[in-house]
């Protein structure tokens, strides 16, 4: 019998499957969509560093731990599969123009330094020195100052998923393209999941269905809020790469790729389960690129796409055993940081599923914890991001 069935073939499901298979378990992944239809494929792959000090929140600790794991996983994946997931410590510029935007950046930089993070405040002239391609924005006052995080990393999500999938298969994981339609349960445990292709049974089950996890959890009597939050992205093909670093500008960003492509993102929208692009959003993103880089972005628009982030009410993912079910686990609700937090989530989940002592305190992520709607939204919650996206000038 299969040891573990994972429902979901995004970065969370595949990372957990890889980790479990690496510990010698027989694993099957059930995934409804092709890889490129997942939020994981659609993501930008920006990994802003987080100081892991005594004041760090549980979410920050998971991110910091995952950040370190990513460096190891990238090497392992390259050795195992020959695929380079393009994890690069390229550094990240965080730039602004409005008085309010610069105040926010100054406060963020001060907090960084207080917490021991590496962070350099830069004038417009210094930003131009680092990234000459931003001259058009600097000359027009579109960028007035900002800070640089030398430890910010980026990764190319489609390459990472390809590498994870190949590594999983090499470790003996079966990946079945099928939708889960229902769950059979009895005597305090799950006895099988009902799919289009029949019932699949295993000793343990892990639900990692991204933005669709709320519906799956509800069928198990668990209230987990995974609100889908749409993000749209435009990919430009430039004659040659003009940036060396990630550029963060309010909620928007530019991410350079090794092959000369430039990713421009993103929107933060409550649009239900419609993972589609809109002409307005694509036009807005192209405008952001033009404001920052000038005519260089008159280059070809190669692709535009949208993905659904699995948002959570309190800004934390849910990772752990489902209450009252001995053999059922859930890993979902990673919102804007799922790519970044995926290796830590995988190791933690594998610890919990195998009964090993957890490498990381899972209490803050427990399924069934109270996530109060209303009140002041925590800074990483869906509500906080939606509010910022609607009002914040860079
Ligand atoms: C535009 C955009 C930019 C982003 N940028 C970043 C970033 O820079 N850094 C970062 O860390 N994160 C980023 N994210 C967030 C990140 O992509 C998500 O947090 C992460 O991908 C969630 O992974 P997941 O595996 O939980 O969900 P998904 O990738 O959505 O995977 C869910 C899986 O569940 C499957 N599934 C669902 N229902 C069923 C069912 N009934 N039966 C079978 N299978 C089912 C789906 O087919 C899919 O395989 C971004 C997201 C978007 C959309």
Identify the CATH number of the domain in which residue 163 sits.
Answer: 3.50.50.60
Closest approach atom of ligand 1 to CA 211: 30
- pLDDT above 90 coverage of the chain, percent: 78
In a domain, 378, yes or no: no
N- to C-terminal Cα separation, the chain: 54
- The answer to whether residues 16 and 60 belong to one domain is yes
Total domain count, the chain: 2
Q: Write the CATH number for 263.
A: 3.30.9.10
What's the CA gap between 350 and 6, in Å, rounded? 11
In a domain, 284, yes or no: yes
Least confident residue range of 74-78, 134-138, 239-243, 325-329: 239-243
Q: What is the pLDDT of residues 310-339, one digit of tens each?
A: 998 888 999 999 988 999 999 999 999 999
- The answer to whether residues 216 and 234 belong to one domain is no
Q: Are 309 and 228 in contact (CB under 8 A)?
A: yes
Q: What is the pLDDT of residues 349-392, one digit of tens each?
A: 999 999 999 988 999 999 888 665 555 667 777 888 787 777 77
Does the beta carbon of 212 lie inside 6 Å of ligand 1? yes
Task: Label each residue of 97-158 as H, E or C.
Answer: CCHHHHHHHHHHHHHHHHCCCCCEEEEHHHHHHHCHHHHHHHHCCCCCEEEEECCCEECCHH
- The answer to whether residues 103 and 139 belong to one domain is yes
Measure Cα distances from 370 to 104, 158, 207, 335 in Å.
Answer: 30, 34, 19, 18
From 9, 85, 210, 319, give the residue whose CB has the most ligand 1 atoms within 8 Å, as the site to mutate. Answer: 210
pLDDT number for residue 371: 63
**Whether the bond into 153 is cis, omega within 30 of 0:** no
Does the beta carbon of 157 lie inside 6 Å of ligand 1? no
pLDDT band at residue 143 using 50, 70 and 90 as cut-offs: very high
Q: Are 245 and 151 in contact (CB under 8 A)?
A: no
pLDDT number for residue 300: 84
Q: What is the pLDDT of residues 217-231, one digit of tens each?
A: 888 877 777 889 999
Please name the residues in contact with 197: beta carbons below 8 A apart, sequence gap of 6 or more.
Answer: 176, 178
Does the beta carbon of 160 lie inside 6 Å of ligand 1? no
- The answer to whether residues 60 and 168 belong to one domain is yes
- Write down the residue that tokens 């421009």 correspond to: 264
**Residue bearing the CA closest to ligand 1, atom 22:** 338
Does the beta carbon of 88 lie inside 6 Å of ligand 1? no
Report the separation in Å between the CA atom of 111 and the middle of ligand 1, taken as the mean of its atom positions.
30
pLDDT number for residue 377: 64
What's the CA gap between 274 and 307, in Å, rounded? 9
pLDDT number for residue 239: 84
Q: What is the pLDDT of residues 257-310, one digit of tens each?
A: 999 999 999 999 999 999 999 999 999 999 999 999 997 656 789 999 999 999
Closest approach atom of ligand 1 to CA 233: 1
pLDDT number for residue 374: 55
Average pLDDT for residues 149-168, to the nearest whole number? Answer: 97
- The answer to whether residues 30 and 65 belong to one domain is yes
Report the separation in Å between the CA atom of 211 and the middle of ligand 1, taken as the mean of its atom positions.
7
Average pLDDT for residues 97-112, to the nearest whole number? Answer: 92
Report the separation in Å between the CA atom of 210 and the middle of ligand 1, taken as the mean of its atom positions.
5
- The answer to whether residues 163 and 295 belong to one domain is no
Average pLDDT for residues 55-67, to the nearest whole number? Answer: 93
What's the CA gap between 388 and 2, in Å, rounded? 45
Does the beta carbon of 309 lie inside 6 Å of ligand 1? yes
Report the separation in Å between the CA atom of 55 and the middle of ligand 1, taken as the mean of its atom positions.
28
Residue 209 has pLDDT above 90, yes or no: yes
From 19, 43, 182, 251, give the residue whose CB has the most ligand 1 atoms within 8 Å, as the site to mutate. Answer: 43
What element of type H or E holds 200?
strand 198-200
pLDDT number for residue 298: 66
Does the beta carbon of 262 lie inside 6 Å of ligand 1? no
Q: Are 224 and 69 in contact (CB under 8 A)?
A: no
Q: Are 107 and 101 in contact (CB under 8 A)?
A: no
Q: Provide the residue range defining the domain that includes 245.
A: 92-152+228-312
pTM for the whole structure: 0.96
- The answer to whether residues 234 and 307 belong to one domain is yes
Question: Between residues 374 and 172, which one has the greater pLDDT?
Answer: 172
Question: Between residues 377 and 188, which one has the greater pLDDT?
Answer: 188
What's the CA gap between 221 and 185, in Å, rounded? 11
- The answer to whether residues 232 and 307 belong to one domain is yes
Helix (H/G/I), strand (E/B), else coil: 283: helix
From 10, 35, 173, give the residue whose CB has the most ligand 1 atoms within 8 Å, as the site to mutate. Answer: 10
Report the separation in Å between the CA atom of 155 and the middle of ligand 1, taken as the mean of its atom positions.
15
What is the 8-class DSSP label of residue 365?
A: G
**Residue bearing the CA closest to ligand 1, atom 35:** 8
Tokens of 364: 């803050």
What is the 8-class DSSP label of residue 375?
A: S
Closest approach atom of ligand 1 to CA 46: 8
- The answer to whether residues 66 and 195 belong to one domain is yes
What's the CA gap between 334 and 194, in Å, rounded? 26
Does the beta carbon of 340 lie inside 6 Å of ligand 1? yes
């Amino acid at each position: 019998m299969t040891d573990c069935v994972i429902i979901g073939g995004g970065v969370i499901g595949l990372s957990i499957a890889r980790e479990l298979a690496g510990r010698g378990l027989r694993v099957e992944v059930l995934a409804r969509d092709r890889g490129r239809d997942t939020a994981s494929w659609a993501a930008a792959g920006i990994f802003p560093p987080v100081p892991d000090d005594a004041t760090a929140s549980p979410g920050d600790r998971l991110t910091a731990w995952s950040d370190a794991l990513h460096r190891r996983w990238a090497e392992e994946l390259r050795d195992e599969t020959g695929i380079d997931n393009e994890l690069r410590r390229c550094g990240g510029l965080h730039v602004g123009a409005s008085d309010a935007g610069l105040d926010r950046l100054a406060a963020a930089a001060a907090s960084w330094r207080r917490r021991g993070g590496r962070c350099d405040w830069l004038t417009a002239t210094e930003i131009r020195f680092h990234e000459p391609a931003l001259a058009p924005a600097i000359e027009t006052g579109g960028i007035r100052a900002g800070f640089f995080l030398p430890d910010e990393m980026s990764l190319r999500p489609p390459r990472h998923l390809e590498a994870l999938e190949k590594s999983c298969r090499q470790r003996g994981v079966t990946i079945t393209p099928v939708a889960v339609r229902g769950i059979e349960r009895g005597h305090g445990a799950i006895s099988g999941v009902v799919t289009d292709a029949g019932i699949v049974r295993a000793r343990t089950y892990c639900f990692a269905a991204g933005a669709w996890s709320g519906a799956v959890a509800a069928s198990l009597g668990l209230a987990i809020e995974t609100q889908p939050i749409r993000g749209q992205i435009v990919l430009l093909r430039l004659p040659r790469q003009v940036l060396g670093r990630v550029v963060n500008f309010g909620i928007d960003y530019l991410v350079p790729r090794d092959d000369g492509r430039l990713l421009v993102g993103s929107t933060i929208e409550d649009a239900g389960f419609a993972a589609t692009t809109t002409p307005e959003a694509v036009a807005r993103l192209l405008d952001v690129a033009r404001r920052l880089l000038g005519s260089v972005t008159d280059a070809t628009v190669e692709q535009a796409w949208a993905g659904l982030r699995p948002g959570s009410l309190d800004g934390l993912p849910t990772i752990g055993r489902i209450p009252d079910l001995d053999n059922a686990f859930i890993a979902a609700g990673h919102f804007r940081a799922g790519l970044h937090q995926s290796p830590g989530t995988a190791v933690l989940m594998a610890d919990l599923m195998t009964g090993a002592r957890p490498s990381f305190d899972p209490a803050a992520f427990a399924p069934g914890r109270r996530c109060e709607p209303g009140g002041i939204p925590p800074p990483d919650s869906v509500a906080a991001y939606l509010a910022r996206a609607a009002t914040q000038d860079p």
